[in-house]
Copies of this chain bind each other. A is one copy, B any other.
Amino acid sequence: MTMALDVGRWLKLVRCNRPLIHNMTNLVVTNVVANALLALGASPVMAYAHEEVEEMAKLAGAVALNMGTLTPDLVAGMILAGRAAAEAQIPVVFDPVGVGATQYRQQAAQEILAQVPLSVLKGNGGEISHMVGVGGSVRGVDAQTVGSGLREAMAEYARAHQLVVVATGAEDLVTDGQTVWVLSNGDVRLSEITGSGCMVTALIAAFLAICDAPCQLAQMAEASVAAITCFNVAAETAARMAQGPGTFVPQLFDALKALTPEDVNRRARLKDTVA
């Protein structure tokens, strides 16, 4: 490790600031996303109407856009919210759920990328492989295969688009184009429940809300690393307490709530390398 990342300090700052996170997320996970943010110590709000998304986004500390159950109306709303946030230097994370599965998801993701200045692009390995152009595939909304040379392609994409790229999986990758972080916490139970990836997206938003405006890429990469690590360390605790995927979910919120800065720093498994 070339430099130490104090994840626990990030966690403390989130809890002190209790940032308001504006979520435009999918119909499947709204409840667990809200509960994950509350358990972390942030304040979730969901708002979708074109009539209010710009105003709500500007009130928030960060905005999380997730196209898991996209419609043309939702995509248009996301663009309104995302642009309003970006203009006010409020960070925006975008999760192109299921991109590559259908033409429409491909088209919608491209439109959002073109219209909204993003802080973080986050997906599973299959989605990000697809986005950064190294193949890879998704099946519905799950990663099926990851493209080869993903790390390098992510870093190049981050530099080209001036954003942080996050790919989740057995190992999670985070890069700002200069550094690539490899994160090894987590548990296989996360792949046995719906909404794991969507909760991570929302948590990244909560940590981005702590960055100093205008946010620097390097700091937003650290925020993303801290968010994923808190979530994954909590998941490890929850997996030990749970008997299956059903009991894992409530244990995950308990563990997120109980997570201490010391605990997460002690258990964090991070590696950073030059991109």
Contacts and interface: CB of A to CB of B under 8 A. Distances in A.
A22 to B, nearest CB: 8
A28 B26 contact: no
Interface of A: 20, 22, 26-32, 34-35, 38-39, 43-49, 51-52, 55-56, 59-60, 68-72, 98, 101-105, 139-142, 192-195, 242-247, 249-258
A71 to B, nearest CB: 5
Given A56-B101, A56-B140, 19 more contacts: A31-B195, A38-B192, A38-B245, A43-B142, A44-B194, A47-B98, A48-B71, A49-B104, A52-B102, A52-B105, A55-B104, A56-B102, A243-B258, A244-B255, A245-B257, A246-B249, A246-B253, A246-B256, A247-B254
A103 B246 CA distance: 37
Contacts of A250: 244, 246-247, 249-250
Given A45-B141, A56-B102, A253 B257 contact: no
